[in-house]
Amino acid sequence: MRLDGKTILITAAGQGIGRASAEACLREGANVIATDINAEALHSLKQEYPHVETHLLDVTNAQAIASFAAQMPNLDGLFNCAGFVHNGTVLDISDEDWEFSLNLNVTSMMRMCRAFLPGMMEQAKITGSSSVVNMASMASSVKGFPMRTAYGATKAAVIGLSKGIAADFVKQGIRCNSVCPGTVDTPSLQGRISSAADPAQAQKDFIARQPMGRLANVADITPMIVYLLSDESAFVTGQSLLVDGGVTI
Ligand code: NAD
């Protein structure tokens, strides 16, 4: 199996892309440490995959990250998936919204990397390589989208954060990449659709911006996550990998 024996920690693993990635890593033989703020979602993951290790972890809580990391084993893989979509133009962004988006989408990933990289470097001394994957988006430095200014700014920062880590630690066996999905059918996307003024039109609009004429499923994204966490991507670092159904052709 492609991730046999690897210990991989995933944030926001309760639902959506994080959960599908946790399941894919489990199926590929990894020891998965699944974290989220949603205890019920983690419980249902554990029921389906009894050998998964689950922990509540709010990635916006700096103290929680530091004390959690101190109890964890050295990791082979870290997938920082947690993130939030702010809907609005720059005129709609309150200081609180901006702070929240930066905190959840970027600062959390910096703190997770800062807390786990020392152990990952120790692990890389034994195995040759450890891999960090950070969740960005096609809505970032790659492309602008209406009503996604705060979101795009934070996801652009994720790409920069990942490249910086890749550059700093390439000689210590750390690889760090970011993934930029297109529009993925997840509970959070369904929430954005149902809270729109005209949900049927919102659904059509999300599909229309995908040249392939459909939304991505989580299973369209997880192969890239598994690849980046596996040794198959041993020569890949500092990249932002698009899985966007052709939006940025
Ligand atoms: P989702 O809303 O379906 O799931 C998000 C999960 O994050 C939930 O289980 C939630 O409990 C957890 N979470 C929320 N706040 C948290 C916190 N403070 N600490 C830890 N966990 C927390 O999300 P999704 O659509 O699968 O998105 C996951 C990631 O993928 C996000 O970073 C998102 O920006 C990114 N992304 C999503 C899409 C898309 O179209 N769905 C596209 C590109 C990128």
Ligand 1 atom with minimal separation from the 105 CA: 32
d(CA 174, CA 82): 21
- Give the pLDDT confidence score for residue 57 in this predicted structure: 98
- Give the pLDDT confidence score for residue 230 in this predicted structure: 98
Ligand 1 atom with minimal separation from the 184 CA: 40
Measure 33 CA to ligand 1 centroid, in angstroms.
Answer: 17
Q: Indicate which residues carry an active-site annotation.
A: 151
- Give the pLDDT confidence score for residue 65 in this predicted structure: 98
Measure 125 CA to ligand 1 centroid, in angstroms.
Answer: 32
Q: Can you say whether residue 27 is alpha, beta or left, with left for phi > 0 and alpha for psi between -120 and 50 degrees?
A: alpha
Mutate to test the pocket of ligand 1, among 11, 15, 17, 38 (most ligand atoms within 8 A of CB): 17
Fold of 7-181+219-236: Rossmann fold (3.40.50)
Nearest one of 80, 142, 153, 149 to 110, comparing CA atoms: 80
Q: State the 10-residue block means of pLDDT for the chain, 249 residues long.
A: 98 98 98 98 98 98 98 98 97 98 98 98 98 99 97 99 99 98 97 95 94 97 98 98 97
- Give the pLDDT confidence score for residue 75 in this predicted structure: 98
Q: Which residues lie with the beta carbon below 6 Å from any ligand 1 atom? A: 11-12, 14-18, 36-38, 41, 58-60, 81-83, 85, 104, 135, 137, 181, 183-184, 186-189
Mutate to test the pocket of ligand 1, among 9, 21, 37 (most ligand atoms within 8 A of CB): 37
User: What is the reported pTM?
Assistant: 0.98
The interface predicted TM-score (ipTM) is: 0.99
Mutate to test the pocket of ligand 1, among 10, 133, 188, 225 (most ligand atoms within 8 A of CB): 188
Measure 217 CA to ligand 1 centroid, in angstroms.
Answer: 14
SS3 track for the chain: CCCCCCEEEECCCCCHHHHHHHHHHHHCCCEEEEEECCHHHHHHHHHHCCCCEEEECCCCCHHHHHHHHHHCCCCCEEEECCCCCCCECHHHCCHHHHHHHHHHHHHHHHHHHHHHHHHHHHHHHHHCCEEEEEECCCECCCECCCCEHHHHHHHHHHHHHHHHHHHHHHHHCEEEEEEEECCECCHHHHHHHHCCCCHHHHHHHHHHCCCCCCCECHHHHHHHHHHHHCHHHCCCCCCEEEECCCCCC
Ligand 1 atom with minimal separation from the 14 CA: 9
CA-closest residue to ligand 1 atom 6? 12
Which residues in the chain are classed under CATH 3.40.50.720? 7-181+219-236
Q: Give just the sign of the alpha carbon dihedral 27, 31, 33, 38.
A: positive
Ligand 1 atom with minimal separation from the 38 CA: 11
